[in-house]
Chains A and B, each alone.
Chain A
């Protein structure tokens, strides 16, 4: 019986800049937002699926991650170490701005494993930084008065033990 198996089917995605990416449908499954779009369509999706919130740089990285992880999972036993090394390199290769942009893209595309990994990466980045650094990172305004801040700091004094003031 003829028929293209699922894993061979290609899906085309289009980024904000209009770049087209051909993606195996087995990889597209990990982009849950895209998969939902495909599932919801009555007919086979032949024309490129537009992703109005996703830029080429981010999609490229996401697909790189997914392709590599699929490769690690389908292969030999040594994969765990290799995967950990890949993940570490992947995280290190990005600036903070790129990391943030990637999280937002992964969130929009609903790529669960990658998103969790990126969240943990950001958690690692911010956990020992000053409060001011974290505010800048997320673009958050300080809405405490100096008195409120002082009070909060005192109430949680144990957490500041041995840590330098900002």
Chain B
């Protein structure tokens, strides 16, 4: 018996679907989702709603995209930003790093970092070399926030950008280093700005000597992280006077605006010949350093905050891959591929290393004129202030 099934009742479909629409839409990537604002006014409302935007952000694939900041190596260096999926970057780093399409020019701005699809940009101010302004930008939608109040810094300052979930706030921290050359003493002032508030606020000074003052603070798990030196005996450091036990990671919690210290991996048994480098990719913290000038080592903190979870991900002989210097450009979250720069800062030589098969691929990028910094990025419709 071939039963013909009666069709479901003829209640108007939109009513039946009700809040299922929101659920369905939350799975759609940002660009096609935005086109669907044109379906009807109620869909426009849903898609523009901040609560929906948050749900949509939660559903976005994690660690699938990245943002490359390219800066010309010159005093007046122009900065541009390229967005890419991790997958296409790994497949062809050269094409991402030299992209003309989809490249956003930032003039003299600088990307401080990215959270929830928002990118924090800092700009210098004409005629005021020690003054800066910050704003948030969503490269997908073009949204640009109101600028922060001006910040005046000393010669040595480091910034960090991050998201504080507890207050749904986006914050910039500025670590100022003041050095007194007469008696070789130093002190720090740290200021924090939350986008949407009216001013920068002082918080406790940095609990160590900010070794990484030339680098940005690294954002992970609601904290900003810098390499620091403790027990410097008051003097300004010179790398020759540093001992291994002085090295520490200072972690600023954005929620409480207080500091914690994170120890370096136990497995580091001698002081590297250069300052190690701290980075975050795929929402993992990495520490990389040279070893006896012959090897390059990368550690990953598998569980952020748990010092026992430091794991050596890579130890590679410089000679084996025929380079003199290595620095990390990007690391895939499962440690499958390491993208390493092999010359002094510029991106002209890249090495792709796959530890699973011990394969080394040298890529020459015909561009000695830029250096690149790569950040995690997620596509979102988030706007803030």
Query: Interface of chain A, helix or strand or loop or mixed?
Result: helix
Q: Mark B1-27, 1 if CB is under 8 A from A, else 0.
A: 001011010001110110011011111
B36 at the A interface (CB under 8 A): yes
Which of B38-46, B77-85, B241-249 makes up part of the contact surface? B38-46
Instruction: Select A127's contact among B20, B29, B39, B40, beta carbons within 8 Å.
Output: B29
Judging by beta carbons under 8 Å apart, are A127 and B28 in contact?
A: yes
- Report if A131-B35 is in contact (Cβ < 8 Å); known contacts: A103-B20, A107-B20, A122-B24: yes
A161 nearest in chain B by CB position: B31
- Report if A131-B38 is in contact (Cβ < 8 Å); known contacts: A119-B24, A139-B14: yes
CA A37 to CA B224, docked complex, whole Å: 50
B36 — which chain A residues lie within 8 A by C-beta? 126, 131, 134
B9 nearest in chain A by CB position: A53
Instruction: Select B34's contact among A120, A128, A134, A159, beta carbons within 8 Å.
Output: A159
- Report if A55-B34 is in contact (Cβ < 8 Å); known contacts: A103-B20, A123-B28: no
Which residues of A from 113 to 166 have beta carbons under 8 Å from B?
A: 115-116, 119-120, 122-124, 126-128, 131, 134-135, 138-144, 149, 152-153, 156, 158-160, 163
Judging by beta carbons under 8 Å apart, are A141 and B8 in contact?
A: no
Judging by beta carbons under 8 Å apart, are B21 and A163 in contact?
A: no
Judging by beta carbons under 8 Å apart, are A143 and B40 in contact?
A: yes
B267 — which chain A residues lie within 8 A by C-beta? none
A140 — which chain B residues lie within 8 A by C-beta? 13-14, 39-40, 43
- Report if A158-B40 is in contact (Cβ < 8 Å); known contacts: A57-B5, A120-B27, A127-B33: no
CA A141 to CA B12, docked complex, whole Å: 11
Judging by beta carbons under 8 Å apart, are B8 and A138 in contact?
A: no
B262 — which chain A residues lie within 8 A by C-beta? none
Judging by beta carbons under 8 Å apart, are A158 and B141 in contact?
A: yes
Judging by beta carbons under 8 Å apart, are A160 and B40 in contact?
A: no
CA A101 to CA B8, docked complex, whole Å: 7
Judging by beta carbons under 8 Å apart, are A56 and B29 in contact?
A: no
Q: Measured between C-beta atoms, what is the minimum distance from A60 to chain B in Å?
A: 10
Instruction: Select B14's contact among A16, A119, A127, A138, beta carbons within 8 Å.
Output: A138
B13 — which chain A residues lie within 8 A by C-beta? 100, 138-140
B44 — which chain A residues lie within 8 A by C-beta? 152
A-B residue pair count with CB separations less than 8 angstroms? 90
B75 at the A interface (CB under 8 A): no
A126 — which chain B residues lie within 8 A by C-beta? 24, 28, 36
B27 — which chain A residues lie within 8 A by C-beta? 119-120, 123-124
- Report if A160-B20 is in contact (Cβ < 8 Å); known contacts: A126-B28, A143-B40, A152-B44: no
Judging by beta carbons under 8 Å apart, are A138 and B31 in contact?
A: no
A124 nearest in chain B by CB position: B27
A82 at the B interface (CB under 8 A): no
Instruction: Select B8's contact among A104, A139, A142, beta carbons within 8 Å.
Output: A104
Q: Measured between C-beta atoms, what is the minimum distance from A3 to chain B in Å?
A: 39
CA A134 to CA B26, docked complex, whole Å: 15
Which residues of B from 222 to 265 have beta carbons under 8 Å from A?
A: none
Judging by beta carbons under 8 Å apart, are A55 and B40 in contact?
A: no
CA A128 to CA B34, docked complex, whole Å: 11
CA A127 to CA B39, docked complex, whole Å: 12
Instruction: Select A152's contact among B12, B21, B26, B37, beta carbons within 8 Å.
Output: B37
Q: Measured between C-beta atoms, what is the minimum distance from A146 to chain B in Å?
A: 12
Q: Measured between C-beta atoms, what is the minimum distance from B53 to chain A in Å?
A: 14
B140 at the A interface (CB under 8 A): yes
A155 nearest in chain B by CB position: B37
Q: Measured between C-beta atoms, what is the minimum distance from A102 to chain B in Å?
A: 10
Judging by beta carbons under 8 Å apart, are A127 and B38 in contact?
A: no
CA A104 to CA B9, docked complex, whole Å: 11
A22 at the B interface (CB under 8 A): no
Judging by beta carbons under 8 Å apart, are A160 and B5 in contact?
A: no
Instruction: Select A123's contact among B3, B25, B43, beta carbons within 8 Å.
Output: B25
A80 — which chain B residues lie within 8 A by C-beta? none
Judging by beta carbons under 8 Å apart, are A128 and B32 in contact?
A: yes
- Report if A149-B38 is in contact (Cβ < 8 Å); known contacts: A120-B27, A127-B33, A140-B14: yes
A64 at the B interface (CB under 8 A): no
Judging by beta carbons under 8 Å apart, are A134 and B39 in contact?
A: yes
Top 10 A-B residue pairs of the complex, sorted by shortest distance between their CB atoms: A139-B13, A123-B27, A159-B34, A127-B32, A127-B28, A131-B38, A119-B24, A119-B23, A57-B5, A120-B27
Known A138-B39, A143-B40, A159-B35; further 12 A-B contacts with Cβ < 8 A:
A103-B17, A104-B17, A104-B20, A116-B23, A119-B23, A124-B27, A126-B36, A127-B33, A140-B13, A153-B38, A158-B141, A163-B35
Residue pairs across A and B with Cβ atoms less than 8 A apart, 14 shown, are A17-B5, A55-B5, A104-B8, A104-B20, A119-B23, A127-B28, A138-B13, A138-B21, A139-B13, A140-B43, A144-B38, A156-B35, A158-B31, A159-B32
